[in-house]
Amino acid sequence: MKERKPHKIIDSHQHFWRYTPQTHGWISDELSVIRRDFLPDELESCFKENDVFGCIAVQADQTLEENEFLLDLANKHKFIKGVIGWVDFQNDRVEEDIYHFSEIELMKGFRHIVQGEADVKFLLRPGFLEGIKLLEKYDFVYEILVFPHQLQMVYEFVKMFPNVQFVLDHIAKPYIKEGYIEGWATMIKALGNFDNLSCKISGMVTEADYSNWSPEQIKPYIDVVLESFGPNRILYGSDWPVCLVAASYTEVLHLGKTMVHQLSPSEQDAFFYKNAKRIYNIN
């Protein structure tokens, strides 16, 4: 199958960090290949090799200092087109923090690592919801990082905020390695009915078998996403450097191209570039 080269590519999901065992305790022995620093010069080399125009840098540490770290990198490296950071939505001073970042063009939105919360109803906590209300006022995106068992709460959560732009990270991390699809697919189809929710086609190789994944194993999940969200609410993301435990950057990009080959040229351009440009308001 011959790949079509997209007009431009924005990688909507990648990370930078200076590795420390304390901050990055989630990097287990199984993920040891990413127990080191990952900074812009290395990613820029990957982008040049693969004709990638730019990226959105996404938080990996839940601190305000992480925001400043990523924004500083974005100011120094023009291929970083925006930052998804973190604020404590349950903090009494959250509006001060959001207002501060609203003055910074490169800050595009926020997320919380909800997948790591033991409280399955974390997204519906009254204090958290009060903070989320501010996103419409300041025109920020909110990214949703969850596991499949949390998707029912995502449905209730998104339904409350029809005027907030939401993005679902990593197609909600379905259990690709185990082959479970039906329960996840039911919720993805339901979530696709929300016009203000888009979905990142990212993170798939690390939900499959790291050593033995194949496009054929992943395709049924992508087909559900394409059917549920359509070509104007999907985004390409590499999840670099996390993806490196299972695949090179080039392999991840090739997988993305393979998964959307049936779309028209204009729909592929939407997936790889135009949707991210619109959602993150990239000039």
Q: What is the pLDDT of residues 98-155, one digit of tens each?
A: 999 999 999 999 999 999 999 999 999 999 999 999 999 999 999 999 999 999 999 9
Mean per-residue pLDDT, 262-267: 95
Q: How do residues 45-92 score in pLDDT, each as one tens digit?
A: 999 999 999 999 999 999 999 999 999 999 999 999 999 999 999 999
Q: Which residues contact 52 (CB under 8 A, 6 or more apart)?
A: 9, 10, 11, 46, 253
Question: What's the pLDDT band for 1 if we cut at 50, 70, 90?
Answer: very low
- Beta-strand runs (E) in 89-220: 107-112, 141-144, 165-168, 197-201
170 and 204 Cβ atoms separated by less than 8 Å: yes
Averaged pLDDT score across all residues of the chain? 96
Tell me the C-alpha distance between 52 and 54, whole Å: 6
Strand order across the beta sheet in which 54-58 lies: 10-14, 54-58, 80-85, 107-112, 141-144, 165-168, 197-201, 234-236
Length of the chain: 283
Helix (H) or strand (E) holding 75: helix 64-76
Is 70 exceeded by the pLDDT of residue 26?
Answer: yes
The pLDDT of residue 5 is 67
Nearest Cα to Cα of residue 133 among 172, 94, 84 = 94
Mean per-residue pLDDT, 10-22: 96
By DSSP bridging, strand 234-236 and strand 197-201 are: parallel
The pLDDT of residue 14 is 98
- 278 φ, ψ (degrees, to nearest 5): -75, -50
Query: Please, how many CA atoms are within 13 Å of residue 259, restricted to the half-sphere of its CB?
Result: 32
